[in-house]
Amino acid sequence: MKTHQNRCLLYNQGLMPYVDAHAWQRSLLTERINDPSLDDVLILLEHPPVYTLGQGASAEFLKFEIDKSKYDVHRVERGGEVTYHCPGQLVGYPILNLQRYRKDLHWYLRQLEEVLIRVLAIYGLQGERIPAFTGVWLQGRKIAAIGIKVSRWITMHGFALNVCPDMTGFERIVPCGISDKPVGSLVEWIPGITCQEVRSDVASSFAEVFGVELVEL
């Protein structure tokens, strides 16, 4: 049994533009590539409305033309297809050195799913995995999306949990490229729930699953 727990710095942020959060993640990643002894980080925040496409994502999953759109759209280096972020969706960006855990990306993706499944369990809800896909489902609706990028075993990007977002933004895309499975949000099951109350549950479940000691900054 490991007695020593890795420290993980927790940044509880409010609403942050996607480009700012992305630049911040990249700088944290670069610092840790240069000095792998630095503490791991978990950033929790919300984004103003924005669409992001993974590295190999297909623009055909957007129901609007990228170059003529009034929407904020970014293609970034994570895996996965198009996704949508907006207020009411809690986004988590773990910057973890997987050499401290397990050098296995499938394991890491399953751990992120496990964090969110445990969060749902706190509310008496049973989150599910669908073997062919990454993410978490609740009664057949996709409640959480996951997309990561790993460089020299250090992670960036992460997960997005739909707590109480305005769901209309999802109507302009085929979320994660999956056309036959609808997206859902926690508020459908728990009226009145907010990102604020879910944050502490996400943080504690994350600490549990990864066996880290969270240090809030």
Check whether 77 has a pLDDT greater than 80.
Answer: yes
93-109 per-position pLDDT tens digit: 999 999 999 999 999 99
Q: Which residue has the tokens 């669409």?
A: 51
Q: Is 176 a catalytic residue?
A: yes
Contacts of 117-126 spanning 24+ positions with Cβ under 8 A: 118/205, 118/208, 118/209, 119/161, 119/198, 119/201, 119/202, 119/205, 120/186, 122/201, 122/205, 123/186, 123/189, 123/190, 123/193, 125/186, 125/189, 125/190
Q: Active site residue: 8, 86, 164, 176, which one?
A: 176
Check whether 2 has a pLDDT greater than 60.
Answer: no
Check whether 1 has a pLDDT greater than 60.
Answer: no
Alpha-carbon separation of residue 216 from 11, 127, 135, 194 (angstroms): 6, 27, 26, 20
Look at the chain and count its residues: 217
On average, the pLDDT of the chain sits at 94
165-176 per-position pLDDT tens digit: 999 999 998 777
Name the band, by pLDDT with cuts 50, 70 and 90, for residue 3: low
Average pLDDT for 64-89:
90
Torsional class of 140: left (φ above 0), alpha (ψ -120 to 50), beta (otherwise): left
DSSP helix/strand/coil, 165: coil
| Phi, psi (degrees; rounded to nearest 5) at 90 | -90, 120
Strand-strand pairing, 89-95 and 154-162:
antiparallel
Percent of the chain with pLDDT over 70: 98
Say if residues 207 and 1 touch (Cβ distance below 8 Å): no
Check whether 184 has a pLDDT greater than 50.
Answer: yes
> To the nearest 10°, the Cα dihedral for 6, 121, 136, 29?
-20
* H helix runs in the chain, sequence order: 18-34, 105-122, 195-210
Average pLDDT for 174-185:
81
107-144 per-position pLDDT tens digit: 999 999 999 999 999 999 999 999 889 999 999 999 99
17-74 per-position pLDDT tens digit: 999 999 999 999 999 999 999 999 999 999 999 999 998 888 888 999 888 888 899 9
Q: What pLDDT does residue 180 have? A: 74
pTM (global) more than 0.75: yes
Percent of the chain with pLDDT over 90: 83
Of 43-47, 175-179, 191-195, 211-215, the poorest mean pLDDT is in 175-179
